[in-house]
A and B are shown apart, each in its own frame.
Chain A
Amino acid sequence: MSSDAIAVQTAGVSADRTWLQTLHEWVTTVDHKRLGVLYVFYALIFLVIGGIEATIIRIQLMRAHNDFVSPQVFNRMFTLHGTTMIFFVIMPFMFGFANYLVPLMIGARDMAFPRLNAFSFWLTALGGTLLYFSIVGGSGLYGAGSAPDVGWWAYAPLTSRAFSPGHSADYWTIAVLVSGFGSIGTAVNLVATVLSMRCPGMKLSRMPLFAWLTLVMSGLVLISISPLSAAQIMLLVDRYLGGHFFDTQAGGSATLWMHFFWIFGHPEVYILVIPAFAFASEIIPVFSRKPIFGYPVMVGATVSIGFVSISVWAHHMFTIGMTSYSNSFFVLTTMIIAVPTGIKIFNWLGTMWGGKLQFKTPMLFCIGFLFQFLIAGLTGIMLGAAPFNWQLSGSYFVVAHFHYMIVGAILFCIFGAIYYWYPKITGRMLNESLGKLHFWLFVIGFHLTFDVMHVPGILGMPRRIYTYEPGRGWDTLNMIITIGAFIQGIAILLFLANLVFSYFGGSKAGNDPWDGWTLEWSVSSPPPVYNFASIPAVASRRPLWDLKHPEDPDTHYD
């Protein structure tokens, strides 16, 4: 077909470097692609760590009166698990992909601020390291380290000196604070890159949806991480300088912490899920062989979600006793956010409708995402209704709901993204058979765990309990949930094995293995350090489609 081509460079580096030279290159790099890979690699390590913590939690709960770990260790496990998965797994995954892909997709040679990019990554990485240094960094209350045990919300007054002596709460606060500064730096960089580094012809209306959604996500990071950082500094003032911001005994307010935390916490859900939307919005069209359905509406819906998501935070606080006006407001805003979200689901389905679907592994994960995100949204709407929330707040129903979102929607999309862009990053294809096995095992494990988990929640099982009495109807359900968790663990081990073996022995990917349409597929795999020998110019949303199909280019319709 089309013979148009662009010139690219193979990396002009010699292969006979020592491992020390290689390490030095990676540690001092300011290249957005390497930093993106570092983010993803770092997230994968923490995914394993967080997964081990989840397994420990599930083993402890698999039967009544179990004592696999002590109550103190159990508290640390769920605290570390939540904090790790949110701040040191999902966010780095998203920043990693954004770092790697945004400049390539918009035809730029790097991010707007390459050194800030490196600084932000290292802050994030060191924040996570500091969190885990808590395990060995001090003897702690029980002589087994100072790992935080206050839950990932770290509600006041649990974080006050009276209830959290020592440094366990401080480790949580400072680790998240430091990584939060890193997140803000990355967000500033992404906003600047998207707004000012686009190649000629790439108007905002021609940007890949991935870049659009990254822009919205970065805006949300700027809006929501700042209050969390402020609250953490206030908490440090309370704990180190005798302040009383959250000390109810001295005129402070525990509810103030809740507001600060959730005004970060709920937009955070969208900070995590909007990049997942971005992955799906790139993968689904390519494997449906159709352009995205309703591009402007998708952009509008994402911007709407961004705005509405900052007005729903107190639906996490219905049980604290707000006024009926506040309850009504937050119920309404929560319901409203379902509208743009529903539009997005409709548009993804519209993209697939009538398309020539190819069920490759990335697409399978996106289809799983569509189904599970819908369910997660529906249970979210249920919990968004204040009277329903009063019954089930703090129960395993809520745990099931948000894991449906974090795992069923976001992690599924991350897996899809890794299968989709791994060939671009490494130049090798991931093994498709192992990928499909990974998908099916993970789907089975996921549904076994998180479908069933709704039921003990409805039966009254509170979250974060160390153990429970037998005969309450929870025993068998918890056993099934734990079995599902193990199946998910096996699936993830398969995935990691696939990553490693395919890196060394996978088939060569070529520059465009999926017949893609965005600019990253126009350069070699892996791309050269400068991305594009000449800055490209584009004239439609799918520049590679135009080159491949000169008889029917998108420019006829844009």
Chain B
Amino acid sequence: MATLLSAEQMKQNSRAPGEVEVSAPTAWPLVLAFGFTLVFAGLLTSASVSVLGAVLALAGCVGWFREVFPHEHEEVVPVVLREVSIATKRRVVERLPVATEQVRAWLPLETYPISAGVKGGLAGSVAMAVLACAYGLLRTGSIWYPINLLGAVVYAPSEVPSAAQFNSFHPIIFFIALILHIVTSILVGLLYGAMLPMFARHPIVLGGLIAPVLWSGLLYSIMNILNPVLGSHIDWVWFMASQFAFGIVAGLVVMRQSRVPTRENLPFVLRVGIEAPGLMPPRENGEKRP
């Protein structure tokens, strides 16, 4: 509990002062400041003002020095005791203990690790790529069409490739599309993994339904800024389908991972890995807990 001294304690405390020493008032800081200002003001007015300022500044320095050396000047102020009430003026309320069967929130004891999301993202990226290539074959007869569209993020809008170029293999564009696809899939997987504890019971709902819808909606709104070429050629039905494929595969992969205990309920010292014997009672009869 806080230990501000009570008046009674103070009286009992032999060290409680009857008087207090505080720094004595002094004009020397003002003299020094004034002199210092005048030194500069002389630049604007007359050299004599600077000279006066220098003299005042010197006097201020000497006076200040003598104020603190060899002994600091202090004045003694008598302490006049007066009780000050420290009490709330507000209504005091009774605190009812919460019944043990009533809980404020249900927290899962186990959830999927974040790495499960990353694995799911990588698996989903394969499913998405297969579906996208299938779309390319059906639409233009070339699997390179969707890859070139994705890689077209590097093109300025004025340099849109021709239809023939879209259907042929370009190693640099392929490399860019591959990097983009893998990096984005890993990042989405990471996000998925981070969100998994919120939907610990139904990862497939999050991955296969909620996330693709949100992700597609986000991309729909910004595609023309991110990748104008892809934005102008995109088939949103197939795009959504590939998103769902990504999410469902990712969800399935996640479900196959083993769960780990959640750590929300652990004390901070345990979460940071500090050995703290006695903080948690030993498990009994294979008790399951975080």
Given contacts A177-B40, A529-B77, whether A6 and B29 have CB atoms under 8 Å apart is no
Q: B115 to chain A: closest CB distance in Å?
A: 26
| Selected contact of B3 from candidates A3, A167, A539, CB within 8 Å | A539
Residue with the greatest number of chain B CB neighbours at <10 A, chosen from A7, A27, A31, A126: A7
Q: Which residue of A lies closest to B92 (CB)?
A: A1
Cross-chain contact B22 with A109 (CB below 8 angstroms): yes
| Selected contact of B6 from candidates A5, A8, A109, CB within 8 Å | A5
A138–B41 Cα distance when bound, in Å, is 12
Cross-chain contact B88 with A1 (CB below 8 angstroms): yes
A10–B84 Cα distance when bound, in Å, is 11
Contacting residues of chain A (6-32) with chain B, CB-CB under 8 angstroms: 6-10, 12, 25, 27-31
Give chain A residues whose Cβ lies under 8 Å from the Cβ of B68: 115
A533–B27 Cα distance when bound, in Å, is 26
Q: Does A268 count as interface, using CB distance less than 8 angstroms?
A: no
Q: A378 to chain B: closest CB distance in Å?
A: 19
Q: A370 to chain B: closest CB distance in Å?
A: 24
Give chain A residues whose Cβ lies under 8 Å from the Cβ of B81: 7-9, 533
Cross-chain contact B77 with A530 (CB below 8 angstroms): yes
Given contacts A174-B40, A553-B2, whether A6 and B13 have CB atoms under 8 Å apart is no
Q: A299 to chain B: closest CB distance in Å?
A: 16
A540–B77 Cα distance when bound, in Å, is 30
Q: Does B184 count as interface, using CB distance less than 8 angstroms?
A: no
Contacting residues of chain A (265-300) with chain B, CB-CB under 8 angstroms: 289
| Selected contact of A555 from candidates B2, B7, B45, B83, CB within 8 Å | B2
Contacting residues of chain A (511-540) with chain B, CB-CB under 8 angstroms: 511-512, 515, 519, 521-524, 528-530, 533-534, 536-540
A158–B11 Cα distance when bound, in Å, is 67
Give chain A residues whose Cβ lies under 8 Å from the Cβ of B22: 31, 109-110, 529-530
Cross-chain contact B16 with A534 (CB below 8 angstroms): yes
Q: Which residue of B lies closest to A537 (CB)?
A: B3
The contact string, 1 if C-beta is below 8 Å from chain B, for chain A 536-558, is 11111001101111111101000
A530–B26 Cα distance when bound, in Å, is 17
The contact string, 1 if C-beta is below 8 Å from chain A, for chain B 19-60, is 010111111111011101100110111000000000000000
Cross-chain contact B29 with A115 (CB below 8 angstroms): yes
Given contacts A122-B29, A138-B44, A536-B4, whether A6 and B86 have CB atoms under 8 Å apart is yes
| Selected contact of B1 from candidates A130, A533, A553, CB within 8 Å | A553
Given contacts A537-B4, A552-B95, whether A119 and B87 have CB atoms under 8 Å apart is no
Q: Does B210 count as interface, using CB distance less than 8 angstroms?
A: no
A544–B83 Cα distance when bound, in Å, is 15
Cross-chain contact A12 with B33 (CB below 8 angstroms): no
Q: B212 to chain A: closest CB distance in Å?
A: 27
Q: What total count of A-B pairs have CB within 8 Å?
A: 195
Cross-chain contact A122 with B84 (CB below 8 angstroms): no
Contacting residues of chain A (361-411) with chain B, CB-CB under 8 angstroms: none
Give chain B residues whose Cβ lies under 8 Å from the Cβ of A130: 37, 40-41
A137–B86 Cα distance when bound, in Å, is 54
Q: B80 to chain A: closest CB distance in Å?
A: 4
Cross-chain contact A539 with B1 (CB below 8 angstroms): yes
| Selected contact of A534 from candidates B10, B25, B28, B78, CB within 8 Å | B10
Interface size on B, residues (CB 8 A): 51
A538–B84 Cα distance when bound, in Å, is 17
Given contacts A118-B30, A530-B20, A530-B77, whether A10 and B13 have CB atoms under 8 Å apart is no
Q: Does B90 count as interface, using CB distance less than 8 angstroms?
A: yes
Residue with the greatest number of chain B CB neighbours at <10 A, chosen from A110, A137, A547: A547
A133–B10 Cα distance when bound, in Å, is 52
Give chain B residues whose Cβ lies under 8 Å from the Cβ of A522: 4, 84, 86
Residue with the greatest number of chain B CB neighbours at <10 A, chosen from A511, A533, A536: A533
The contact string, 1 if C-beta is below 8 Å from chain B, for chain A 92-136, is 000000000000000001100011101100110011001001100
| Selected contact of B88 from candidates A170, A537, A549, CB within 8 Å | A549
Q: B191 to chain A: closest CB distance in Å?
A: 17
A523–B83 Cα distance when bound, in Å, is 10
Q: Does A201 count as interface, using CB distance less than 8 angstroms?
A: yes
Residue with the greatest number of chain A CB neighbours at <10 A, chosen from B2, B22, B25: B2
Cross-chain contact A512 with B37 (CB below 8 angstroms): no
Q: Does A352 count as interface, using CB distance less than 8 angstroms?
A: no
Given contacts A12-B78, A547-B4, whether A170 and B43 have CB atoms under 8 Å apart is yes
Give chain A residues whose Cβ lies under 8 Å from the Cβ of B16: 7, 533-534
| Selected contact of B33 from candidates A123, A236, A538, CB within 8 Å | A123
Q: Does B5 count as interface, using CB distance less than 8 angstroms?
A: yes
Cross-chain contact A126 with B37 (CB below 8 angstroms): yes
Give chain A residues whose Cβ lies under 8 Å from the Cβ of B78: 9, 12
Q: A242 to chain B: closest CB distance in Å?
A: 15
Q: Does B85 count as interface, using CB distance less than 8 angstroms?
A: yes
Q: Which residue of B lies closest to A127 (CB)?
A: B37
Q: Does B82 count as interface, using CB distance less than 8 angstroms?
A: yes
Q: Does A171 count as interface, using CB distance less than 8 angstroms?
A: yes
A548–B85 Cα distance when bound, in Å, is 10
Q: Does B17 count as interface, using CB distance less than 8 angstroms?
A: yes
Q: Does A240 count as interface, using CB distance less than 8 angstroms?
A: yes
Q: Which residue of A lies closest to B60 (CB)?
A: A119
Cross-chain contact A1 with B13 (CB below 8 angstroms): no
Q: Does A178 count as interface, using CB distance less than 8 angstroms?
A: yes
Give chain B residues whose Cβ lies under 8 Å from the Cβ of A549: 88
Cross-chain contact A7 with B5 (CB below 8 angstroms): yes
A261–B78 Cα distance when bound, in Å, is 49
Q: Which residue of A lies closest to B11 (CB)?
A: A7
Give chain A residues whose Cβ lies under 8 Å from the Cβ of B28: 115
Q: Does B67 count as interface, using CB distance less than 8 angstroms?
A: yes
Q: Which residue of B lies closest to A3 (CB)?
A: B87
Give chain B residues whose Cβ lies under 8 Å from the Cβ of A8: 81-82, 84
Contacting residues of chain A (285-335) with chain B, CB-CB under 8 angstroms: 289
Give chain B residues whose Cβ lies under 8 Å from the Cβ of A27: 27, 30
A340–B286 Cα distance when bound, in Å, is 44
Give chain B residues whose Cβ lies under 8 Å from the Cβ of A555: 1-2
A491–B84 Cα distance when bound, in Å, is 36
Cross-chain contact B5 with A539 (CB below 8 angstroms): no
Q: A300 to chain B: closest CB distance in Å?
A: 15
Give chain A residues whose Cβ lies under 8 Å from the Cβ of B174: none
Q: Does B89 count as interface, using CB distance less than 8 angstroms?
A: yes
A524–B80 Cα distance when bound, in Å, is 12
Q: Which residue of B lies closest to A240 (CB)?
A: B43
Q: B8 to chain A: closest CB distance in Å?
A: 9
Give chain B residues whose Cβ lies under 8 Å from the Cβ of A537: 2-5
A358–B10 Cα distance when bound, in Å, is 35
Q: Does B79 count as interface, using CB distance less than 8 angstroms?
A: yes
| Selected contact of A9 from candidates B3, B27, B82, CB within 8 Å | B82
A533–B80 Cα distance when bound, in Å, is 9
Q: B37 to chain A: closest CB distance in Å?
A: 4
13 contacts between A and B (CB under 8 A): A28-B25, A28-B26, A115-B23, A118-B29, A122-B30, A134-B44, A167-B44, A174-B43, A530-B77, A533-B79, A537-B4, A539-B2, A550-B1
The 8 closest A-B pairs by CB, nearest first: A122-B33, A546-B2, A119-B29, A118-B29, A28-B25, A530-B20, A543-B2, A126-B37
Q: Which residues of B contact A (CB under 8 A)?
A: 1-7, 10, 13, 15-17, 20, 22-30, 32-34, 36-37, 40-41, 43-45, 64, 67-68, 77-90, 92, 95
**With contacts A6-B84, A146-B44, A201-B3 known, what are 16 further pairs, Cβ within 8 A?**
A3-B87, A5-B85, A7-B10, A9-B78, A12-B78, A28-B27, A31-B25, A109-B20, A110-B22, A115-B29, A122-B33, A126-B34, A528-B77, A538-B3, A547-B2, A547-B4
